[in-house]
Amino acid sequence: MKKVDILIIGQGIAGTVLSHQLIQKGYSVFVIDHKKVNSASRIAAGVYNPIAYRKLKRAEFVEFLLPSMQDYYGKLQKELNVSFFKPSSFLKLLTDIEELNNWQIQCAKESNTSYMSKTIFTSNFNHGIKNEIGAGQVLNSGVVKIPTLIEAWQKRLIESHRFSSGPFNYSDLEFHTDGIHYSDMCYEKVIFTEGVGVSKNPWFNWLPIQKFKGEVLEIHAPNLELDRMINRGVFLLPLGNGYFKVGATHDWRKVDEVITTEGRLELTDKLDKFINVPYTVVKHEAGLRPAARDRHPYIGVHPENNRLFVFNGLGSKGVIMAPWLVTKFIEGLDSFEWPPEFDIKRYIRFFNDSNTGHEKN
Ligand SMILES: Cc1cc2nc3c(=O)[nH]c(=O)nc-3n(C[C@H](O)[C@H](O)[C@H](O)COP(=O)(O)OP(=O)(O)OC[C@H]3O[C@@H](n4cnc5c(N)ncnc54)[C@H](O)[C@@H]3O)c2cc1C
């Protein structure tokens, strides 16, 4: 039986970055993914942004997440010879005088100068965009085209016989003294990166994952010229040739992946507040973000089986989080030591309750 170090279940952004970094570090790896068309990674806009828009403050952990991801994706796109990483600056349309004042206070702080520009665009800087109060510039932001990255890396995995397309059957895992057997291979470790699919995982379904529904639109607005993303309640992201992505809704009450009229109207109502050119909606998608209860992703080892691991709960921050967190995760693979704010040990009570039949609360 062929021996392999690590089996990874799921190749969204998590499984992609994880398998890539493991191979870089010399591990042998095999990946299984059933290519769900509307997985979070496949419908995400892939935007990263160092500012929390609601409070106009620096996002948590950004001082180390940002340099790590910029370095990682920059090198990876060279290695794969595909273009998926687009560093840029974004425009944040300010909605009222209070928000404008807040922007001016925040951008004057030393700790925010790398992320918020002091220049406010006050005129109508762009045909088609209504700019009533002013627009601040968010620096050091950008986009990772996640589907392009996933496809390019999957091609490499396939070429090196490290990928299988199809569903992973949890009940076919066999535990032996020499390792874990699955489909004629023997693995040292299995790492689950299934996004919201973790709720079907018999070893990790006790983790409190919130399925955070998001809907996005693609529009065609041939008269709108925009060279970078703009945000005012929703983002408007240029895709080229007059096409734009608009998103996203956040709905924690619904846990389905169905597109809704309500979601579409929410997005177009917000969009109509800041664009004044005609457009048509050409695509509408819905998906589920795998979010952790405290908004810090979940990494760690199973409490009773030290060959089984999980990496999940990236929430709305898959792009910016994955590279740094994967590095930390791999560092702890043998010692089982991870930063406590991400280690699943913090929710061990849910595992204990699941064994005694208590509900998550
Ligand atoms: C509408 C929307 C917009 C978003 N926009 C952004 C954004 O702009 N920027 C950002 O950073 N994040 C964004 N996100 C969040 C981001 O998409 C997630 O953080 C990230 O994609 C999660 O990645 P993942 O790899 O953990 O999970 P997923 O992307 O869900 O990947 C899991 C993979 O596991 C596979 N899988 C699951 N179970 C099995 C099984 N049993 N057998 C085989 N394969 C299996 C699935 O096929 C899938 O490919 C958005 C999410 C949504 C829904």
H helix runs in the chain, sequence order: 13-24, 40-43, 62-80, 97-107, 146-159, 261-272, 318-331, 348-356
Q: Pull the structure tokens for residue 334.
A: 């043998």
φ/ψ of 203, rounded to 5, equals -95, -25
**pLDDT value of position 173:** 97
Ligand 1 atom at minimal distance to the Cα of residue 288: 53
Is 33 a pocket residue for ligand 1 (Cβ < 6 Å)? yes
Of the candidates 61, 101, 147, 69, the one whose C-alpha atom is nearest the C-alpha of residue 324 is: 69
Is 344 a pocket residue for ligand 1 (Cβ < 6 Å)? no
**pLDDT value of position 304:** 96
Of the candidates 245, 247, 249, the one whose C-alpha atom is nearest the C-alpha of residue 228 is: 245
Ligand 1 atom at minimal distance to the Cα of residue 249: 1
Stated pTM of the model: 0.96
Instruction: For residue 291, name the pLDDT band (cuts at 50, 70, 90).
Output: very high
CA–centroid distance for 124 within its chain: 33
CATH 3.90.580.10 fits 210-292, yes or no: no
42: enclosing H helix or E strand? helix 40-43
pLDDT tens for each residue of 35-73: 989 999 999 999 999 998 878 888 999 999 999 999 999
Does residue 292 carry a pLDDT above 50? yes
Is 140 a pocket residue for ligand 1 (Cβ < 6 Å)? no
75 touches 82 (CB < 8 A): no
Distance CA 130, CA 126 (A): 8
| Residue 358: Cβ within 10 Å count | 11
Residue range 297-318: average pLDDT? Answer: 97
**pLDDT value of position 253:** 86
How far, in Å, from the CA of 18 to the mean position of ligand 1? Answer: 14
Instruction: For residue 354, name the pLDDT band (cuts at 50, 70, 90).
Output: confident
Instruction: For residue 358, name the pLDDT band (cuts at 50, 70, 90).
Output: low
How far, in Å, from the CA of 10 to the mean position of ligand 1? Answer: 9
Is 251 a pocket residue for ligand 1 (Cβ < 6 Å)? no
Considering only the top CATH level, what class is 2-43+147-208+294-356? alpha beta
Total residues belonging to the chain: 361
Q: One-letter amino acid identity for 97?
A: I
Per domain, the residue ranges of the chain are 2-43+147-208+294-356, 47-144, 210-292
Ligand 1 atom at minimal distance to the Cα of residue 169: 41
Tell me which residue has its CA closest to atom 19 in ligand 1: 318
Instruction: For residue 361, name the pLDDT band (cuts at 50, 70, 90).
Output: very low
Q: Do 2-43+147-208+294-356 and 210-292 show the same overall fold?
A: no
Does residue 125 carry a pLDDT above 80? no
Tell me which residue has its CA closest to atom 50 in ligand 1: 44
Is 45 a pocket residue for ligand 1 (Cβ < 6 Å)? yes
pLDDT tens for each residue of 144-202: 999 999 999 999 999 999 999 999 999 999 999 999 999 999 999 999 999 999 999 99
Tell me which residue has its CA closest to atom 6 in ligand 1: 44
Of the listed ranges 253-257, 345-349, 352-356, the least confidently predicted one is 352-356
